[in-house]
Amino acid sequence: METKPIDGKAFAAGLRARIAEEVSALRASAGLTPGLAVVLVGEDPASQVYVRNKAAQTAEAGMASFEHKLAADTPEADVLALVAKLNADPAVNGILVQLPLPAQIDATKVIAAIDPAKDVDGFHVVNAGRLAVGLDALVPCTPLGCIMLLKHHLGSLAGLKAVVVGRSNIVGKPAAQLLLKEDCTVTIAHSRTRDLPGECRTADILVAAVGRPEMVRGDWIKPGATVIDVGINRVPKDDGKTRLVGDVAYAEAQGIAGLITPVPGGVGPMTIACLLQNTLTAAKRQHGIA
Ligand SMILES: NC(=O)C1=CN([C@@H]2O[C@H](COP(=O)(O)OP(=O)(O)OC[C@H]3O[C@@H](n4cnc5c(N)ncnc54)[C@H](OP(=O)(O)O)[C@@H]3O)[C@@H](O)[C@H]2O)C=CC1
Ligand SMILES: Nc1nc(=O)c2c([nH]1)NC[C@@H]1CN(c3ccc(C(=O)N[C@@H](CCC(=O)O)C(=O)O)cc3)C=[N+]21
């Protein structure tokens, strides 16, 4: 069987172009420029790259970008005070606090402090709860991007068997919620799952969000399945440099999977495009526009 890559990079570029058009129409009709504030605490090099990419793509989409870089030893109270200021700022429609945070800062507290209407990550319990009970919510960007790619390539997902490996609040759990909303039959697997390979082999849609380089092997994949690889793992190369690999052994999946997202160029670019989408959605809702 021929395995086709899912080009998340191209799909994300198209999505960003559609968002940019909508942003320019919104400015013309309502005088509104959506604004995204990103808060980065500390110097984590990977986080800095994401923050830079986000700022550039936010500006390209015609939105306002506000960057707040704080020292690694910033006290929790200062981060909470900044979040309160951003909550009150009418130019800021979306707030993202980059995770993980340094040890002295309780991420749960910081997320709880964000106005749910501006929570473009969809991490606040109000948004997680709204998603769980089927109300309009701001949905976490990475799972939202995964679902967009799946629907684009498969059409209806109804009745398909989905296995999500990973149960984090930011990827695994919301991904499972969204697949359920699309009428998949959903299994959530994790580190205590018995016979993980066997569970994975039942999946028409296999979502890997584990953070372990190439853990999912070729023979865990049902022939013809669609594989969504969320993992972003930096591993050493022979020349001393590093390269990115996913949670799925991509080379082994060739000839077995029907469709697969590469790393890089799969889910990652969709995450940022969906962040812009959520910022636009948040801005419109805050102004009572559709
Ligand atoms: N592409 C993108 O835009 C994004 C990519 N990522 C990447 O996705 C991956 C997952 O991220 P995140 O959800 O935050 O990670 P977490 O570390 O929060 O969660 C990992 C999950 O994987 C499970 N797990 C760990 N080891 C195993 C194992 N051996 N077998 C089965 N399950 C296991 C854990 O189970 P348990 O709960 O039992 O401990 C946990 O539920 C990472 O590589 C991250 O970099 C993350 C966000 C965005
Ligand atoms: N509050 C918060 N929200 C997040 O959404 C969040 C976060 N914290 N912390 C870190 C993770 C990780 N994350 C990624 C975003 C984009 C790419 C991305 O664009 N990847 C590209 C390029 C990768 C590269 O070359 O470095 C790709 O996969 O092709 C990856 C990972 C968002 N996260």
Q: Are residues 197 and 105 in the same domain?
A: no
Asked if residue 98 has its Cβ within 6 Å of ligand 1, the reply is no
Q: Is the pTM of this model over 0.90?
A: yes
Which residue's C-alpha comes closest to atom 27 of ligand 1? Answer: 191
Distance CA 118, CA 121 (A): 9
Q: Are residues 103 and 155 in the same domain?
A: no
The answer to whether position 89 is within a domain reads yes
Question: Could you tell me if 200 and 220 are in contact, meaning their C-beta atoms sit under 8 angstroms apart?
Answer: yes
Could you read off the pLDDT of 148-203 as tens digits, one per residue? 999 999 999 999 999 999 999 999 999 999 999 999 999 999 999 999 999 999 99
Q: Are residues 76 and 192 in the same domain?
A: no
**For the chain, what is the radius of gyration of the CA atoms?**
19
Structural domain boundaries, residue 68? 31-116
Could you read off the pLDDT of 201-235 as tens digits, one per residue? 999 999 999 999 999 999 999 999 999 999 999 99
Helix axes 141-154, 172-181, angle to 10 degrees: 40
pLDDT at residue 43, rounded to an integer = 86
The answer to whether position 164 is within a domain reads yes
Distance CA 121, CA 85 (A): 18
Q: Are residues 88 and 166 in the same domain?
A: no
The answer to whether position 39 is within a domain reads yes
pLDDT at residue 161, rounded to an integer = 99
pLDDT at residue 188, rounded to an integer = 98
Question: Could you tell me if 247 and 229 are in contact, meaning their C-beta atoms sit under 8 angstroms apart?
Answer: yes
What is the predicted ipTM? 0.98
The answer to whether position 205 is within a domain reads yes
Distance CA 46, CA 169 (A): 20
Asked if residue 196 has its Cβ within 6 Å of ligand 1, the reply is yes
Distance CA 173, CA 171 (A): 6
Asked if residue 212 has its Cβ within 6 Å of ligand 1, the reply is yes
The number of domains in the chain is: 2
Q: Percent of the chain beyond pLDDT 90?
A: 95
| CATH code of residue 253 | 3.40.50.720
Torsion region of 254: left, alpha or beta (phi above 0 gives left; psi -120 to 50 gives alpha): beta
The answer to whether position 129 is within a domain reads no
| CATH code of residue 58 | 3.40.50.10860
